[in-house]
Amino acid sequence: MKIIKRNGEEREFDIAKIEGAISKASASVAAADAMTARQISRCAAEVGDECSRLRRAVGVEEIQDMVERSLMRGGFLAVAKHYVTYRYERTLARKGNTTDAKVMSLLDSVNETVRQENSNKNPTVVSVQRDYMAGETSRDLTRRLFLPEDVVKAHDEGLIHFHDSDYYAQRMHNCSLVNLDDMLQNGTVISGVMIERPHSFSTACNIAMQIVAQIASCQYGGQTISLTHLAPFVDVSRQKIRKELEVFKLSKVEREKMVEQRVLEEIRRGVQTIQYQVVTLMTTNGQAPFLSVFMYLNEAKDGRERDDLALVIEEVLRQRIQGVKNEAGVWITPAFPKLLYVLQEDNIHEDDRWFYLTRLAAECTAKRMVPDYISEKVMKANKIDANGKGQCYPCMGCRSFLTPYVDKDGRPKYYGRFNQGVVTLNLVDVALSADHEWEDFWMILDERLELCHRALKCRHERLEGTLSDAAPILWRHGALARLPRGERIDSLLHGGYSTLSLGYAGLWECVLAMTGRKLTEPEGEAAGLEIMKALNSYTAKWREAEGIAYSLYGTPIESTTYRFAKCLQRRFGIVPGVTDKSYITNSYHVHVAEPVDAFAKLALEAKFQPLSPGGAISYVEVPDMKGNIEAVLAVMRFIYDNIIYAELNTKSDYCQKCGWDGEIQIVEQDGKLVWKCPRCGNTDQSTMNVARRTCGYIGTQFWNQGRTQEIKERVLHL
């Protein structure tokens, strides 16, 4: 059994230390109130049993809470009082410096919390360590100087989660839709160097990746580019190649055949640039850029541009099916870029012109877990702009969607917009605090949401006053705007141009705690929808009052799911079906262990997606589908008819020690969940390639214990 020290380091559980702490408290009281050695051992054993039942590494603070409760239950009130007093004095002493121990544990690569915080960051790499060290400083400043005490307290207790405080000290925003079209067509500036309109497709791809790397170093969330913005440069290459071949004595037919052959080679090189630069670039936050690539045929103009876009999409899918090579030269599944494929009326049926691309996408999903699917039909029915027109556009990162927006000329605008940040509400805590009483639930919800509102205002006000010079690639050179040097970005923070996200987590457990019913049951579904509508009413009220685009967001709680679960257990103990896991359920999702078929799951969650306009994604867990592409296509058609945005989760693993390319298993070992090769028994994560969908994106650097348990308990839906 393991414990997590305050600096994040993982150590073996040692009951003697608990006995020692109780003994010191006992020795400090009057003899009549002191405990016997047997009583001390019994109390320590009781704490050890409670830790064991949690089936995860337990934090020092949690253990101390357990000791206090055990002493109180045993009637040792004087000892408990002295124990609490000593603990408080030590807490005050530690407040003198809150970061040194954590920074040192980062440098020594022993901070287990950080090691499993982000499934796409390797904490042993010096660039990642540098980012984490800066993050600890930012967190410390944020807690002591930038946030109100009640917001910090609510975050610490797990009532809310103030996201990305490791970047909050700097004036940075969350995620964005990159205006790549403007930057490529009209030129941009990168690191003080003028970059003019490219003269070939491969050059356009190369410039695009340099832009992506720069942006990733100036924000902390995901970014999305559209292949539609690259497609016009295919014909630029075509015209260039055609001119080069004019000197050769060829017939028109021969020349055009050669032109198209060279165009295809140009596309291959350009797409390869995208694939390999994304997975090999290292940004200043120590990881590859969190990039999504949008593939939407109806976004292109008719004729040549759409045909060229189809060629690019086909090449992207073929190269992704192939994958990338690991250190051993074996083809594996990369985490990025994330691919977004739009299902539309002329690519969903077998006799459609573009169906061959949809089949290729299905093959890619079966092997590499991407692309994810957006239904043009359902999205346009739900994303209605001020002109009354339905819009189809990509998410930023894994699920964050902008709200519909038209500019001053009445034109819809999405590229060049961004999200200011997120604060997430723990719905499970609201429900357990209400203790089955709906009147109390709505009262507590109101209090917690006002707390979230003030925390979100802090995010907004932190960005206000930011000068365009803070991140020139974003604010001055076209990624998000083309503001003059030294101008404030405030105009982009108001009027709906950018969004501010109220996140929510644990609707499944919230409904179960309040009603005793699951979301998959009529009473539970009705309660869940009512709660979601109430959350939307708050964001609407704030938006109307302040002119800021607050939106409800289904948070992808990767590490927060574990933190929330631990906080809930600490506050409420083990509540069957609610707090008995080391994780809580993401957003409105059906619980991962709930037996339900793929179509029923998507149909149910389709009712909740429109009520999460700031971000939502649904998934179905499937077995190896490489031999059953027709089943993948059946799910894709269901997505097209029923839900805005969904994905299929499968598995893609490789053991470098024995060559196993089946599923790497999760097993319990010494009270901890570990990854184990079923063939050779290898448990060394550094010699495995494991890819799993984490929260809408693919993770490849492994996960904390809460998320690992969630992955282990996922059931198949197909």
Classify the phi-psi angles of 34: left when phi > 0, otherwise alpha if psi is within -120 to 50, otherwise beta: beta
- 183 as an active site residue: the answer is no
Angle at 387 between CA 386 and CA 392, to 5 degrees: 85
Residue 6 reports pLDDT greater than 80: no
DSSP states of 296-354: -GGGSPTTHHHHHHHHHHHHHHHHHHH-EE-TTS-EE--S-SEEEEEE-TTTSSTTSTT
Summarised one tens digit per residue, pLDDT across range 428-450 is: 999 999 999 999 999 999 999 99
Residue 120 reports pLDDT greater than 70: no
- 677 as an active site residue: the answer is no
Is residue 612 helix, strand or coil?
Answer: coil
Residues 372 and 234 in one domain: yes
Q: Is residue 189 part of a domain?
A: yes
Quick one: pLDDT at residue 7? Answer: 64
Q: Is residue 256 part of a domain?
A: yes
Residues 216 and 73 in one domain: no
Residues 92 and 210 in one domain: no
Quick one: pLDDT at residue 10? Answer: 79
Question: What residues have CB less than 8 Å from 388, skipping those under 6 apart?
Answer: none
- 704 as an active site residue: the answer is no
Q: Is residue 139 part of a domain?
A: no
HEC letters along 257-303: HHHHHHHHHHHHHHHHHHHHHHHHCCCCCCCCCCEEEEECHHHCCCC
Residues 196 and 88 in one domain: no
**Residue 448: what are its φ and ψ, rounded to 5°?**
-70, -35
Mean pLDDT of the region 97-107: 56
From first CA to last CA, the distance across the chain in angstroms is 36
Rounded distance, CA 200 to CA 314, Å? 19
Residues 92 and 196 in one domain: no
Total domains in the chain come to 2
**Tally of residues, the chain:** 718
In what order do the strands lie in the sheet containing 419-426? 160-162, 419-426, 499-505, 549-554
**Catalytic hit among 398, 532, 625, 655:** 398
Q: Which residue in this structure is represented by tokens 């080391």?
A: 582
Rounded distance, CA 347 to CA 356, Å? 8
**Catalytic hit among 48, 135, 524, 696:** 696
Are 169 and 137 spatial neighbours (Cβ–Cβ below 8 Å)?
Answer: yes
Quick one: pLDDT at residue 87? Answer: 79
Q: Is residue 643 part of a domain?
A: no
Residue 107 reports pLDDT greater than 70: no
Residues 72 and 216 in one domain: no
Quick one: pLDDT at residue 518? Answer: 98
Q: Which of 92-96, 136-140, 328-332, 456-460 has the lowest mean pLDDT?
A: 92-96
**Catalytic hit among 364, 396, 452, 636:** 396
- 419 as an active site residue: the answer is yes
**Catalytic hit among 400, 468, 536, 586:** 400
Q: Which of 38, 72, 96 is the last residue of a domain?
A: 96
- 642 as an active site residue: the answer is no
Are 184 and 233 spatial neighbours (Cβ–Cβ below 8 Å)?
Answer: yes
Mean pLDDT of the region 8-13: 80
Exposure class string for 678-692: b at 16+ Cβ within 10 A, else e: eeeebeeeebbbbbb
Residues 77 and 181 in one domain: no
Are 588 and 528 spatial neighbours (Cβ–Cβ below 8 Å)?
Answer: yes
Quick one: pLDDT at residue 557? Answer: 81
Q: Which of 279-288, 345-354, 396-405, 426-435 has the lowest mean pLDDT?
A: 279-288
Q: Is residue 565 part of a domain?
A: no
- 175 as an active site residue: the answer is yes
**Catalytic hit among 7, 26, 119, 174:** 174
Q: Which residue in this structure is represented by tokens 């999760």?
A: 666
Residues 199 and 90 in one domain: no
Are 518 and 512 spatial neighbours (Cβ–Cβ below 8 Å)?
Answer: yes
- 35 as an active site residue: the answer is no
Residues 47 and 185 in one domain: no
Q: Is residue 653 part of a domain?
A: no
Residues 207 and 344 in one domain: yes
Q: Which of 66, 96, 126 is the last residue of a domain?
A: 96
**Catalytic hit among 43, 51, 175, 510:** 175
**Catalytic hit among 112, 558, 605, 621:** 558
Full residue range of the structural domain in which residue 92 is found: 2-96
Q: Is residue 501 part of a domain?
A: no
The alpha carbon of residue 438 and the mean position of all alpha carbons in its chain are separated, in whole angstroms, by 31
What's 336's domain CATH number? 3.20.70.20
Question: What residues have CB less than 8 Å from 693, skipping those under 6 apart?
Answer: 369, 619, 647, 649, 699
Q: Is residue 27 part of a domain?
A: yes
The alpha carbon of residue 236 and the mean position of all alpha carbons in its chain are separated, in whole angstroms, by 37
- Tell me how far CA of residue 130 lies from CA of 102, 121, 165, 168, in angstroms: 13, 12, 16, 16
Which two three-digit tokens encode residue 51? 């830790």
Rounded distance, CA 136 to CA 542, Å? 32
Quick one: pLDDT at residue 458? Answer: 97
Which two three-digit tokens encode residue 142? 């944020």
Which two three-digit tokens encode residue 48? 């050890």
Element housing 599 (H / E): helix 598-605
Q: Which residue in this structure is represented by tokens 């009147």?
A: 439
Are 165 and 139 spatial neighbours (Cβ–Cβ below 8 Å)?
Answer: yes
Rounded distance, CA 343 to CA 170, Å? 39
Summarised one tens digit per residue, pLDDT across range 562-586 is: 899 999 999 999 999 999 999 999 9
Q: Give strand pairing partners of 596.
A: none
**Catalytic hit among 132, 167, 553, 619:** 553
**Catalytic hit among 118, 237, 419, 501:** 419
Mean pLDDT of the region 59-67: 89
Are 300 and 306 spatial neighbours (Cβ–Cβ below 8 Å)?
Answer: yes
Q: Which amino acid is at 103?
A: V
Summarised one tens digit per residue, pLDDT across range 324-339 is: 998 889 898 888 899 9
Rounded distance, CA 265 to CA 637, Å? 32
Q: What is the DSSP letter of 195?
A: E
Residues 92 and 181 in one domain: no
Q: Which of 333, 354, 382 is the last residue of a domain?
A: 382
- 426 as an active site residue: the answer is no
Residues 321 and 202 in one domain: yes
Closest listed residue to residue 118, CA positions, set 559, 505, 503: 559
- 341 as an active site residue: the answer is no
**For the whole model, what pTM was predicted?**
0.86
